[in-house]
Structure 1
Amino acid sequence: MDITFLLEIVDEAELAALFGLATGAVFGFAAQRSSFCLRAATVEFARKRLGPRMAVWLLTFSAAVIWVQAAQLAGLFRSSDARMMAVAGSWSGAIVGGLMFGAGMVLARGCSGRLLVLAATGNLRSVISGLIFAVVAQMTLHGWLAPLRQWLAGLWVTPGGHNVDLLPALSLPQEAGLVLGLACAALALWLALRNAIGWSTLVFASGVGFAIALGWTLTFTLAQVAFEPMSVTSATFSGPSANTLMFFLTDNPVLDFDIGLVPGVFLGALVAAALARELKFQGFDGESQMRRSMLGAALMGFGAMLAGGCAVGAGVTGGSIFVATAWLALACMWVGAVVTDALVDQAPSAATPSTSHHDPAAPETVPAE
């Protein structure tokens, strides 16, 4: 893909930001229409139910793997050039950070990406939680919490100064990634049919995965022709949230892919919600919910920076190129979320007698927030 003509119109930094804006807009629009949310999928799983949220998450994940691996086989992308693959990963960070992030997203009733999407629809709870997430992420990256993050991350790191690609590490051919993605997609479609999910939701869930591949391909293509070194990356919401916050707070802002991504997601979700007439202001239901959401956002902010990515950045973006620590972080996010739901949300309801026969695993008890 030749993009040199674009560099005659805008400079490299501006083009990277525009690529981030485009990737974010696709992600935001598709995520809003499909109600994509890792937290909702983990809660369904915790309550022994493979419902529509699980189907949506699996379809998004599989679509990302399929598109990214197909792009790599076609020569449009090279995972070894990806930022998260080219630097050393942290096994200890993936474990501790993943567990913290999983617990936090259950408490906050949404992962960091979902909070951004909901904020665009008028959800003030997500606005507050998202700001706390961004502030704590920045503190963890460069502020007071940075020494603790560095210590925890340094306990156990990948050898050789770079991360581990699972496919060659397991002696699997490159095509195995595409095969795994197709198998995961088949499972997702079976769950979708079982839960009577409409085709529009399936298309938009796949669109979220396509946005991941779009980001990888665009940044890789730009890196090949740019004069200055450019990061090969895609959608994630830990570093970009912190960087976007500082972009508006400093007097020397620098444009890059991350700076375009967050506004792009917000605008894409806003347009999708407006077209569906789903714009509505919502606030906290009470003080306890506010405390819970604030704590969850803080846990996600620290956990995401420690784990090397959030539910999207590590869970889908890193997973799509088979970064070993990203897969470990994703597994720990599931564990953290399942345990937190069992201890915080399920235990109180089980201990409180009720005359209602309401099924705790019913869809309405697993909102996409």
Structure 2
Amino acid sequence: MDIIPLIERIGEAPTAALFGLIAGVTFGVAAQRSRFCLRAATVEFARGMMQDKVAVWLLTFSTAVVWVQAAQLFGIIDVTEARMMAVPGSWSGAIIGGLLFGAGMVLARGCSGRLLVLAATGNLRSVVSGLIFAVVAQMSLTGWLAPVRDWIAGQWITSGGRNMNLLTTVHLPEQGGLVIGLVIALIALELSRRNNIGWSRLVFASGVGFAVALGWALTTALAHVAFDPVQIESLTFTGPSANTLMFVLDRGSVLEFDIGLVPGVVIGSFLAALINKELKFQGFEGPTPMRNAMIGAALMGFGGMLAGGCAIGAGVTGGSIFAGTAWLALFCMWVGGMSMDWMLGGRGHPATV
């Protein structure tokens, strides 16, 4: 893909934002149509069920792994210098942040990515929760909560000055990641068959995973030709939500992949809901759901920044490149989500809205 003419026409920073917009729209459409959500999957699993939400999550995750690992084998993607791999990872941050994020997404009735999708379709509960999530994420990045985050993250970090590559650590061959992805995909398809999930939903669930691979491919292509250093990255919503908030508040902010990503998700989700006549204003049912949503959003904002990513950023994007701390954070998100559902006595509805 020759992107040099595009860069010469609009510049490197706008190109990065455009690529974020493209990946975001792809994710928004696919996530809205597939009803993808880690929170829904963890609640379903916690209640002893292996139904459509678990199947959709597994299919999304496996699709991301298959696409990314295959692209690496063919030299299309190179994530060795990706932000997530090129710096030390935090084991302590992954554990505590993952647990907090998992508990928060159950209280807020949706992970951060799902809240963004729902907000675009008229869910006012998600708008409020999303704003709180973004503010707390920014506070955890550079504000009052940053010292606490830094202290927790610094308690236990990966050795060697980089994050751990799980495939390399366990001495698997280059094709090992692709094989793991295919095995998980087969499990997801079998669960989908047992739960009679339609092909349309399966295609869109795969589209969420493809959006992650697309983000990796686009930023890799830009990094190879850009004059200024470009971060190789893909979809995540903790940092981008905070950065997008600051972009609209600070006229000195610059365009980057993150700034295109969040609006892209909103546009894609809105268009998908509009076409399928699913736009609908929804609010809080009472003070308790509102309180839980606000607490949950705050926990996700801090937990996601501490864990190095949200349910998408660590759970799917980091998982697709087998970043060690991302897999640990994802595991802890499942544990945190299931534990919170048990603490609530399973009273929350397994749906994401």
Using structure 2 for the length normalisation, give the TM-score.
0.99
* Other-structure match for 2:313: 313
Return the letter of the residue paired with 2:84.
M
Residue 105 (structure 1) shift: 0.2
Return the letter of the residue paired with 2:67.
W
* Other-structure match for 1:93: 93
Q: Deviations over 1:164-215 (max 9, x none)?
A: 1000100001100000000000000000000000000000000000000000
CA–CA separation in structure 2 for the residues paired with 1:272 and 1:248 = 25
Q: CA RMSD in A?
A: 0.8
Please state if 1:333 is matched with 2:325.
Answer: no
Aligned-residue sequence identity (percent) comes to 67
Q: Deviations over 1:70-111 (max 9, x none)?
A: 110110111212110001100000000000000000000000
Unpaired segments ≥5 residues, structure 2: none
Aligned pair count reads: 353
Unpaired segments ≥5 residues, structure 1: 350-359
CA–CA separation in structure 2 for the residues paired with 1:71 and 1:4 = 21
SS at match of 2:344: helix
Alignment of 1:143-154 (within 5 A): 143-154=143-154
* Other-structure match for 1:24: 24
* Other-structure match for 2:163: 163
Return the letter of the residue paired with 2:220.
F
Return the letter of the residue paired with 1:221.
A
Residue 368 (structure 1) shift: 2.5
* Other-structure match for 2:303: 303
* Other-structure match for 1:111: 111
CA–CA separation in structure 1 for the residues paired with 2:111 and 2:248 = 23
* Other-structure match for 1:189: 189
- Does 78-87 or 60-69 show the bigger shift? 78-87
Dislocated runs of 4+, deviation >6 Å: none
Residue 283 (structure 1) shift: 0.2
Residue 2 (structure 1) shift: 2.1
* Other-structure match for 2:351: 367
* Other-structure match for 2:13: 13
* Other-structure match for 1:254: 254
Residue 292 (structure 1) shift: 0.4
* Other-structure match for 2:279: 279
* Other-structure match for 1:205: 205
- Does 1-10 or 19-28 show the bigger shift? 1-10
SS at match of 1:29: helix
Please state if 1:268 is matched with 2:268.
Answer: yes
Return the letter of the residue paired with 1:133.
F
Structure of higher CA gyration radius: 1
SS at match of 1:8: helix
SS at match of 2:9: coil
Residue 6 (structure 1) shift: 1.2
Residue 19 (structure 1) shift: 0.0
SS at match of 2:209: helix
SS at match of 2:234: coil
CA–CA separation in structure 2 for the residues paired with 1:86 and 1:251 = 30
CA–CA separation in structure 2 for the residues paired with 1:88 and 1:316 = 19
* Other-structure match for 1:51: 51
* Other-structure match for 1:352: none
Return the letter of the residue paired with 1:366.
P
CA–CA separation in structure 1 for the residues paired with 2:130 and 2:71 = 32
Alignment of 1:170-185 (within 5 A): 170-185=170-185
Please state if 1:127 is matched with 2:127.
Answer: yes
Q: Deviations over 1:275-322 (max 9, x none)?
A: 010000000000111000000000000000000000000000000000
Using structure 1 for the length normalisation, give the TM-score.
0.95
